Amino acid sequence: MLFSRGFSRLPKATFNRCSKWLLSHHRHPHPQDHHHRHRHFVLSPTHRVLLLMATALNVPLPRPALAEVPETLSTELRTRQQCIAEITEMIHVASLLHDDVLDDAETRRGIGSLNIMMGNKVAVLAGDFLLSRACVALASLKNTEVVSLLATVVEHLVTGETMQMTSTSEQRVSMEYYLQKTYYKTASLISNSCKAIALLAGQTAEVSMLAFEYGKNLGLAFQLIDDVLDFTGTSASLGKGSLSDIRHGIITAPILFAIEEFPQLDAVVKRGLDNPADIDLALDYLGKSRGIQRTRELAMKHANLAAEAIDSLPESGDEDVLRSRRALIDLTHRVITRTK
């Protein structure tokens, strides 16, 4: 994998420790279905989504594209789409490494974070290294539109983190600001990667945008449920301390919806939640509100929009294509019903 090839250029001791950390955090079971033909890869959820999307888009191409892609989903095309999935995963992991440093996180999925195990400097450099290897792999695709898309993803990750760190008191209680930040920090990566998969296949702008909309809405639904679980999940199930966000002063959808029902909570939130008593007061208002339920409903809305995007793809009678599309739709249900 590109992960291994990237980290193998680090000093041996650092490579061994970084690789061990990555394996402990990104070990996922091999899929047991027929959607994936690259079963020798250990696939993360994001990786699986992109490979499913590659098969789901195996539809007749517009005539101008036929000259460029003579065989639909050819071996070369599948290899290039696989490369996009690996690049996306490297960008994702790099962002996690950097986030853990910024948040002073002690754990990641219930295991010690790399910054705790090896220090902030190594964690930052490991993230930088993954980004640099992702850039090299991206350049090898020689597709300027795809390069631009994934470069935009990195810009969005930085923008989203900056928005979170520098928000004013008014922005902290704005649902519009929250959703824009969430798109930048979470949904941009999967949406633009799905679009890149379509562009590499020579699909139309319309089909490419459907792939983008699927990724965007799946990502937003995922983060909204993540925000719910921060209040309702346990430390064991989440692999992190429950109430992590609010204890760090990060305001998410459940609290924002609670403010709509209890305007007096607005002043509490704007004070910054540095006082434990204010956190307890905010949680009390949240418990009396429909904030958790309304966040779940908003997540369901985005999950449904993601499913609609898949249903809107050009018709196909190919069983592999249909099976992959069903799997992508099934993922929208799993996202909103997950408990960790």
Which pLDDT score is estimated for 100?
Answer: 77
Q: Which of 6-10, 180-184, 209-213 has the lowest mean pLDDT?
A: 6-10
pLDDT tens digit sequence for 115-131:
777 778 888 888 888 88
Q: How far apart are the C-alpha atoms of 52 and 63, rounded to whole Å?
A: 24
Which pLDDT score is estimated for 45?
Answer: 81
Phi-psi region of 142 (alpha: psi -120 to 50; beta: other; left: phi over 0): left
pLDDT tens digit sequence for 319-339:
999 999 999 999 999 999 998
Q: How far apart are the C-alpha atoms of 44 and 286, rounded to whole Å?
A: 34
Which pLDDT score is estimated for 273?
Answer: 85
Which pLDDT score is estimated for 43?
Answer: 55
For residue 154, what are its two tokens? 């990195």
* pLDDT at 215 exceeding the cut of 90: yes
| More reliable by pLDDT, 38 or 322 | 322
| More reliable by pLDDT, 95 or 264 | 264
Q: What are phi and psi of 112, to 5 degrees?
A: -55, 130
Closest CA to 18 of 7, 27, 5, 28: 7
For residue 156, what are its two tokens? 């969005």
Its pTM stands at 0.82
**264-273 contacts: CB < 8 A, separation 24 or more?**
266/173, 269/172, 269/173, 270/169, 270/170, 270/172, 270/173, 272/169, 273/246, 273/249
Q: 310 to each of 190, 204, 223, 306, how far by Cα in Å?
A: 15, 15, 20, 7
Compute the average pLDDT of residues 301-320.
96
Which pLDDT score is estimated for 72?
Answer: 46
Residues of the chain with pLDDT > 70: what percent? 78
Which pLDDT score is estimated for 18?
Answer: 57
* pLDDT at 1 exceeding the cut of 60: no
Q: Give me Rg for the CA atoms of the chain.
A: 21
SS3 of 339, please? coil
Q: How far apart are the C-alpha atoms of 330 and 324, rounded to whole Å?
A: 10
Report the chain's mean pLDDT, rounded to a whole number: 82
pLDDT tens digit sequence for 185-210:
999 999 999 999 999 999 999 999 99
Q: How far apart are the C-alpha atoms of 321 and 327, rounded to whole Å?
A: 10
Which pLDDT score is estimated for 37?
Answer: 35
pLDDT tens digit sequence for 243-288:
888 888 889 999 999 999 999 999 999 888 888 899 999 999 999 9
Q: 153 to each of 121, 247, 265, 312, how far by Cα in Å?
A: 24, 28, 34, 25
Closest CA to 224 of 157, 293, 155: 293
* pLDDT at 216 exceeding the cut of 90: yes
* pLDDT at 303 exceeding the cut of 80: yes
pLDDT interval class at 160 (50, 70, 90): very high
Which pLDDT score is estimated for 235?
Answer: 46
For residue 187, the 8-state DSSP code is: I
Q: How far apart are the C-alpha atoms of 5 and 137, rounded to whole Å?
A: 11
pLDDT interval class at 42 (50, 70, 90): very low
Which pLDDT score is estimated for 44?
Answer: 76
Give a three-class secondary structure readout of 258-323.
Answer: HHHHCCHHHHHHHCCCCCHHHHHHHHHHHHHCCHHHHHHHHHHHHHHHHHHHHHCCCCCCCHHHHH
Residues of the chain with pLDDT > 90: what percent? 53
Which pLDDT score is estimated for 76?
Answer: 82
Bridge partners for 149 per DSSP: none
* pLDDT at 13 exceeding the cut of 80: no
Q: How far apart are the C-alpha atoms of 112 and 21, rounded to whole Å?
A: 9
